[in-house]
């Protein structure tokens, strides 16, 4: 595989002005598929969530899922779109094994939602408006696994295995208008935009919005033009960039690659690019050609969807608090400072902290764990914090163990490492690693008796009111328990034993 030349990002920015565009596919979390009553469930045994409609058998008829329509309208409304009074589905014809019907049922010239916008907040608080061209409904394709070859990628595969469980899962594709004026903040904007869309659909409850499961998938279009020129350059479309970090990296890489191509005097080829997370580069997919002649025509087996204004208003009334307003409320509820809150938002752990608080932690404990322990580890592991493998329940369990004096903060950090290393639950790791603070009063009392007996003069001083002398006894107990005692509890017990109130 040849590697492409790239310019440094700074040099690319000096010479060229990037124009972006995004197609974000959102998988809806309806119970059933878009056109069939087969279950829409992730992770089941292959080819068990299918029926005759999903497999494209002859003579079958699709029937539209009403909930999917309502979810799509909600997405449209949340993106400040107009909702079409009437719209249709079409057939997009192509041959590929992930599409058993040999066409995808998709909206084409009549999307259900159009002409919207989304205000996206960048890391420093700057708000950038992204115009939404359309949000249309379609169905997902089956999942291909490429077998043989060296890499498991499509290149060099010997054959492919197809699971149609995902075929027919409802999708909403959100398409932006060309995004101009982002300049050197283009990669950051790309990440922020996809994060904002993910946040909206999650907040609406219409999608599970897990990028690692492909619930939200992004195709990123990038083109460059010399500064001051109005006409757009030729774009590339990087497919299936499936994490927020990858979106940022892919846009940055494509800007650098385009800049090198343009500098060499060659034209950029309009093509699909494949993103490779391991090398953080893209490689050429297929060139756009007449293979993209999809011969759309209106789906004859489906009738138009008419969204009455009453229905749209009913749905609008059910919309939850928009994320920007939610953030304002959470900040007030949690009592974080501006800086603390912005750090939390930028670290991408707002949902995680909210879940952790809901699971029983205080706002300050939740922040301490996510910002102090987990975000840093995620950075090292180079993944989004939410994908590191720590959930709210684990954080709550850890903090409870600390609060109960079972483990101290240092031990808790080691237990977290154990959780991430897959050693089991915090409880199990404490056991296995022998990390527990000795808090069973029995052994402590024995050690205290021994320490008091060893230093009777100190014991007398404490009895006489010189409580500060207690350090020597506590030290003796800590030594006897090899540091595994909870010093605070030891102190309490000593005072109790000697009948002294501190």
Q: Are 117 and 132 in contact (CB under 8 A)?
A: yes
Per the listing, tokens 């090292």 go with 380
| Beta strands 82-83 and 216-226, pairing class | unpaired
How many angstroms separate the CA atoms of 130 and 141, rounded? 28
Per rule CB under 8 A, is residue 49 in the interface with other proteins? Answer: yes
The smaller minimum CB distance to other proteins, of residues 40 and 176, is found at 40
Per rule CB under 8 A, is residue 387 in the interface with other proteins? Answer: no
Per rule CB under 8 A, is residue 431 in the interface with other proteins? Answer: no
Q: How many residues bind other proteins (CB under 8 A)?
A: 61
Task: Specify the DSSP element, H or E, that contains 257.
Answer: helix 244-263
Per rule CB under 8 A, is residue 303 in the interface with other proteins? Answer: yes
**Ramachandran assignment for 265, one of left (phi > 0), alpha (psi -120 to 50 degrees), beta (any other):** left
Per rule CB under 8 A, is residue 279 in the interface with other proteins? Answer: no
Tokens representing residue 156 in the block? 């060099």
Binder among 299, 373, 384, 397 for other proteins (CB under 8 A): 299
Per rule CB under 8 A, is residue 184 in the interface with other proteins? Answer: no
Per rule CB under 8 A, is residue 175 in the interface with other proteins? Answer: no
Q: Give the binding range for other proteins (CB under 8 A) out of 5-13, 145-153, 372-380, 438-446.
A: 145-153
Binder among 26, 30, 174, 353 for other proteins (CB under 8 A): 30
Per rule CB under 8 A, is residue 283 in the interface with other proteins? Answer: no
**Minimum CB–partner distance for residue 148 and other proteins (Å):** 8
Q: Are 273 and 284 in contact (CB under 8 A)?
A: yes
Per rule CB under 8 A, is residue 32 in the interface with other proteins? Answer: yes
**Minimum CB–partner distance for residue 43 and other proteins (Å):** 14
Closest CA to 419 of 387, 435, 395, 386: 395
Per rule CB under 8 A, is residue 160 in the interface with other proteins? Answer: yes
Closest CA to 185 of 288, 255, 102, 84: 255
**Minimum CB–partner distance for residue 39 and other proteins (Å):** 5
Per rule CB under 8 A, is residue 39 in the interface with other proteins? Answer: yes
Binding mask 305-334 for other proteins (x = CB under 8 A): xx----------------------------
Per rule CB under 8 A, is residue 45 in the interface with other proteins? Answer: yes
SS3 341: helix
Q: Give the binding range for other proteins (CB under 8 A) out of 142-150, 201-209, 317-325, 340-348.
A: 142-150
Per rule CB under 8 A, is residue 112 in the interface with other proteins? Answer: no
Q: List beta partners, residue 223.
A: 19
**Minimum CB–partner distance for residue 166 and other proteins (Å):** 12
Tokens representing residue 292 in the block? 């993209």
Binder among 295, 328, 379, 479 for other proteins (CB under 8 A): 295
**Phi, psi for residue 490 in degrees, rounded to 5:** -60, -45
Per rule CB under 8 A, is residue 37 in the interface with other proteins? Answer: yes
How many angstroms separate the CA atoms of 435 and 411, rounded? 6
The smaller minimum CB distance to other proteins, of residues 3 and 289, is found at 289
CA-based Rg of the chain, rounded to a whole angstrom?
29
Closest CA to 138 of 237, 241, 35: 35
Binder among 7, 65, 106, 345 for other proteins (CB under 8 A): 65
Per rule CB under 8 A, is residue 52 in the interface with other proteins? Answer: yes
**Minimum CB–partner distance for residue 354 and other proteins (Å):** 27
Binder among 8, 14, 31, 328 for other proteins (CB under 8 A): 31
The smaller minimum CB distance to other proteins, of residues 182 and 201, is found at 201
Binding mask 67-106 for other proteins (x = CB under 8 A): xxx----------------x-x----xxxxx---------
Q: Are 24 and 216 in contact (CB under 8 A)?
A: yes
Q: Give the binding range for other proteins (CB under 8 A) out of 289-297, 372-380, 469-477, 492-500.
A: 289-297
| DSSP per residue, 114-179 | EEEEEEEE-TTS-EEEEEEEEEEEEE---EEEEESTTTSSSTT-SEEEEEGGGTT-EEEEEEEPPB
How many angstroms separate the CA atoms of 18 and 223, rounded? 6
**Minimum CB–partner distance for residue 386 and other proteins (Å):** 27
**Minimum CB–partner distance for residue 66 and other proteins (Å):** 4
Binder among 5, 15, 48, 279 for other proteins (CB under 8 A): 48
Please compute, for residue 51, the number of CA atoms within 13 A of its CA located in the half-sphere on the CB side.
15
**Phi, psi for residue 67 in degrees, rounded to 5:** -65, -35
CB atoms within 10 A of CB 157: 16
| Beta strands 271-276 and 90-93, pairing class | unpaired
How many angstroms separate the CA atoms of 67 and 189, rounded? 32
Residues near other proteins (CB under 8 A):
30-32, 36-39, 45-52, 55, 63-69, 86, 88, 93-97, 144-149, 154-155, 157-164, 285-286, 290-291, 293, 295, 297-300, 302-306
């Amino acid at each position: 595989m040849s590697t492409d030349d790239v310019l440094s990002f700074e040099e690319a920015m000096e010479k060229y002005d990037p124009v972006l565009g995004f197609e974000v596919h959102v998988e809806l979390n309806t119970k059933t598929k878009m056109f069939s009553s087969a279950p829409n469930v992730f992770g089941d045994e292959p080819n068990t969530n299918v029926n005759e409609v999903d497999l494209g058998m002859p003579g079958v008829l699709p029937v539209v899922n009403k909930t999917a329509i309502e979810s799509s309208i909600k997405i449209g409304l949340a993106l400040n779109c107009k909702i079409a009074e009437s719209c249709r589905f079409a057939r997009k014809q192509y041959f590929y094994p992930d599409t058993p019907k040999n066409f995808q049922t998709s909206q084409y010239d009549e999307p259900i939602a159009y002409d919207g916008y989304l205000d996206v907040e960048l890391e420093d608080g700057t708000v950038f408006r992204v115009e939404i061209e359309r949000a249309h409904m379609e169905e997902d394709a089956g999942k291909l696994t490429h077998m043989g070859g060296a890499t498991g990628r499509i290149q060099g595969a010997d054959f492919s295995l197809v699971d149609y469980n995902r075929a027919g899962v409802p999708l909403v594709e959100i398409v932006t208008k060309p995004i101009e004026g982002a300049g050197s903040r283009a990669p950051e904007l790309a990440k922020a935009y996809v994060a904002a869309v993910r946040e909206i659909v999650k907040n609406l409850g219409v999608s599970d919005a897990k990028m690692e499961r492909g619930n939200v998938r992004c195709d990123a279009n990038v083109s460059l033009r010399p500064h001051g020129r109005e006409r757009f350059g030729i774009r590339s479309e990087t497919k299936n960039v499936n994490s927020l970090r990858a979106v940022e990296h892919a846009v940055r890489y494509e800007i650098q690659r385009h800049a090198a191509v343009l500098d060499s005097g060659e034209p950029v080829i309009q093509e699909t690019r494949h993103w490779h997370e391991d090398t953080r580069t893209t490689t050429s997919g297929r060139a756009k050609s007449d293979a993209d002649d999809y011969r759309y025509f209106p789906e004859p087996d489906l009738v138009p969807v008419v969204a009455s204004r009453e229905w749209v208003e009913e749905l609008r009334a059910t919309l939850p608090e928009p994320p920007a307003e939610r953030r304002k409320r959470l900040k007030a509820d949690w009592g974080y400072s501006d800086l603390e809150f912005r750090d939390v938002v930028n670290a991408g752990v707002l949902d995680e902290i909210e879940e952790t608080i809901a699971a029983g932690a205080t706002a300050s404990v939740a922040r301490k764990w996510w910002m102090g322990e987990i975000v840093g580890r995620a950075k090292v592991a180079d993944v989004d914090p939410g994908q590191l493998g720590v959930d709210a329940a684990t954080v709550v369990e850890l903090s409870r163990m600390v609060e109960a004096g079972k483990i101290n903060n240092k031990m808790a950090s080691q237990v977290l490492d154990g959780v991430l290393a897959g050693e089991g639950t915090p409880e199990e790791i404490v056991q296995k690693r022998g990390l527990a603070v000795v808090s069973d009063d029995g052994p402590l009392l024995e050690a205290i008796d021994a320490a008091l007996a060893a230093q009777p003069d100190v014991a007398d001083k404490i009895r006489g009111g010189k409580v500060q002398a207690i350090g020597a006894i506590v030290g003796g107990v800590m030594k006897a328990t090899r540091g595994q005692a909870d010093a605070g509890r030891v102190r309490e017990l000593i005072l109790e034993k000697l009948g002294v109130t501190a």
